[in-house]
């Protein structure tokens, strides 16, 4: 095919697609029941953009040149307003028009417009509006969990959102002045997440959110300092991985800071205190050291029980944890990593990877992982004369501290 013919074919396809798009309009409203007093953006235009299956994939949308009608069948339930009139002001409003929930009920919104192809098209949508009776604070933590009691370190700025309900139904829309509390500022949001900022004070405090809109509000704001931390947990291993070494090395210790039994949303640094420095200490051999908020490194020097105390930096030790450090035999060449796709030579022989808490069993020519070793044991290579081993083969078993 020549370039000229190919270009003409593409042009014909484009014109055909454009012409077939001149047959509909769309009006998009709230994605659920709108709360009384809440705002939600309205979107309208060529239904080509909806990709609803009735239009060709090459559909090119036409632009609205004139709004002939934008109305509500019952403005006492749902009122259409200009973006200029949203309480946030025209600077924050991203849409030219919004729907405001005025009272409980149902209303039909209608859009009629002239498009740049000369056509006049119309679309409508139904809006449900409900009266809110409860509000719940939702704060998302770094680990993805959600809490209704927001913990903030002294002087920190945190953000949270709101869920607004009518009975058990969650309502949608941006609701101005939904809650109040000291240091709380509402942020405008077109998508109905109802975000807020809280500037925590410099002194400890617990604040209950208040609302002039609903009687029931679930949510508290807690500003805490080091003295309000009630516990810190440490974890230095897992079911699959144990602190095992063939030579002295470093390992990670993760921590969780708790205030009255609740973990904080954003981690803070802690201080570790080793009472077994011959077994474990700070990598530069200090007995007391501070890591970062995401975890702390420690150094393993010898096999034995490592005992670490943990505190907020400069504060008293709040908890003490002990866990085993193992020094194990290096795996034979070719057995550094075991997978179920790796072949094995002798039926029934066993092996393991350094630090892993599972024995690999040779079965039908491939390695099969066995159940985890007990939490205080590790998988290690042992002499083939050990009971349970097959003479003349590689052998690994779960073992405790020597």
Q: How far is the CA of 298 from the CAs of 245, 291, 325, in angstroms?
A: 13, 9, 11
Nearest to 275 by CA among 310, 315, 245, 326: 310
Residue 124 is given by DSSP the state E
| Beta bridge mates, 234 | 255
Nearest to 332 by CA among 322, 320, 344, 316: 344
In this prediction, residue 110 carries a pLDDT of 98
Residues 220-269: tens digit of each pLDDT: 999 999 999 999 999 987 777 899 999 999 999 999 999 999 999 999 99
CA distance 190 to 96: 12
In this prediction, residue 51 carries a pLDDT of 54
Class of the 228-327 domain?
mainly beta
User: What mean pLDDT do residues 142-169 have?
Assistant: 96
Residues 42-77: tens digit of each pLDDT: 999 998 755 554 545 567 789 999 999 999 999 999
In this prediction, residue 17 carries a pLDDT of 35
Residue 284 reports pLDDT greater than 70? yes
- Average pLDDT of the chain? 89
User: How many residues are there in the chain?
Assistant: 402
In this prediction, residue 94 carries a pLDDT of 84
In this prediction, residue 2 carries a pLDDT of 43
CA distance 188 to 196: 9
C-alpha dihedral (32, 35, 41, 44), degrees to nearest 10: 50
Residue 195 reports pLDDT greater than 90? yes
CATH for 18-130, options being 1.10.3130.10, 3.30.420.40, 2.60.40.1080, 3.40.50.150: 2.60.40.1080
* pLDDT band at 13; cut points 50, 70, 90: very low
In this prediction, residue 50 carries a pLDDT of 58
Residues 76-117: tens digit of each pLDDT: 999 999 998 888 765 567 899 999 999 999 999 999 999 999
CA distance 228 to 190: 37
CA distance 283 to 271: 14
* pTM > 0.85: yes or no: no
* pLDDT band at 131; cut points 50, 70, 90: very high
Q: Are 129 and 155 in contact (CB under 8 A)?
A: no
What is the share, in percent, of the chain residues with pLDDT greater than 90?
A: 71
Residues 364-390: tens digit of each pLDDT: 988 999 999 998 999 999 998 899 898
Which sign does the torsion angle of CA 272, 274, 278, 280 carry?
negative
In this prediction, residue 58 carries a pLDDT of 61
**Strand, helix or coil at 11?**
helix
Residue 277 reports pLDDT greater than 80? yes
**Strand, helix or coil at 323?**
strand
| Beta bridge mates, 44 | 27
CA distance 353 to 344: 14
The pair of three-digit structure tokens given for residue 232, joined into one six-digit string: 């810190």
**Strand, helix or coil at 14?**
helix
Q: Considering the domain delimited by 134-224, tell me its CATH architecture.
A: Sandwich (2.60)
In this prediction, residue 57 carries a pLDDT of 55
Residue 12 reports pLDDT greater than 50? no
| Contacts for 36 with CB less than 8 Å, ≥ 6 apart | 101, 102, 103, 104, 129, 130, 131, 132
DSSP letters spanning 141-189: -TTS-EESEEEEETT-EEEEEEEEEETTEEEBSB-TT--B-TTEEE---
CA distance 57 to 125: 25
Q: Are 220 and 148 in contact (CB under 8 A)?
A: yes
* pLDDT band at 322; cut points 50, 70, 90: very high
Residue 11 reports pLDDT greater than 60? no
Residue 133 reports pLDDT greater than 50? yes
């Amino acid at each position: 095919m020549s370039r000229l013919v190919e270009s003409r074919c593409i042009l014909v396809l484009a014109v055909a697609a454009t012409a077939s798009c001149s047959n509909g309009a769309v009006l998009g409203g709230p994605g659920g029941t709108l709360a009384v007093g809440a705002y939600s953006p309205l979107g309208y235009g060529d239904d080509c953009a909806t990709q609803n299956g009735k239009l060709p994939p090459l559909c090119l949308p036409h632009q609205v040149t004139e709004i002939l009608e934008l109305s509500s069948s019952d403005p006492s339930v749902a009122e259409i307003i200009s973006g200029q009139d949203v309480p946030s002001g025209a600077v924050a409003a991203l849409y030219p028009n919004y729907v405001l929930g005025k009272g409980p009920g149902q209303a039909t919104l209608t859009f009629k417009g002239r498009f740049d192809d000369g056509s006049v098209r119309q679309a409508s949508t139904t809006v449900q509006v409900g009266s809110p009776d409860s509000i719940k604070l939702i704060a998302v933590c770094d680990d993805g969990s959600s809490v209704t009691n927001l913990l903030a370190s002294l002087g920190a700025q945190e953000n949270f959102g709101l869920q607004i309900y009518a009975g058990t139904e969650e309502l949608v829309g941006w609701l101005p002045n939904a809650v109040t509390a000291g240091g709380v500022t509402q942020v405008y949001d077109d998508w109905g997440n109802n975000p807020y900022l809280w500037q925590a004070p410099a002194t400890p405090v617990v604040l209950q959110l208040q609302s002039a809109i609903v009687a029931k509000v679930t949510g508290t704001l807690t500003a805490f300092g080091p003295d309000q931390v009630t516990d810190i947990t440490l974890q230095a291993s897992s079911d699959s991985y144990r602190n095992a070494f063939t030579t002295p090395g470093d390992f990670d210790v993760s921590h969780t800071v708790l205030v009255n039994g609740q973990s904080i949303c954003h981690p803070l640094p802690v201080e570790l205190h080793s009472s077994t420095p011959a077994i474990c200490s700070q990598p530069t051999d200090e007995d007391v050291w501070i890591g970062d908020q995401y975890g702390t490194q420690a150094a393993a020097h010898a096999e034995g029980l490592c005992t670490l105390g943990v505190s907020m930096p400069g504060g008293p030790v709040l908890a003490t944890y002990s866990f085993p450090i193992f020094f194990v035999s290096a795996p034979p060449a070719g057995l550094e990593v075991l997978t179920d796709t790796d072949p094995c030579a002798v039926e029934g022989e066993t092996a393991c990877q350094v630090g892993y808490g599972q024995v690999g069993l040779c079965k039908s020519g491939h390695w099969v992982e066995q159940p985890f070793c007990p939490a205080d044991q590790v998988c290690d290579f042992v002499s083939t004369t050990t009971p349970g081993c097959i003479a003349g083969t590689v052998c690994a078993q779960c073992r405790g501290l020597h």
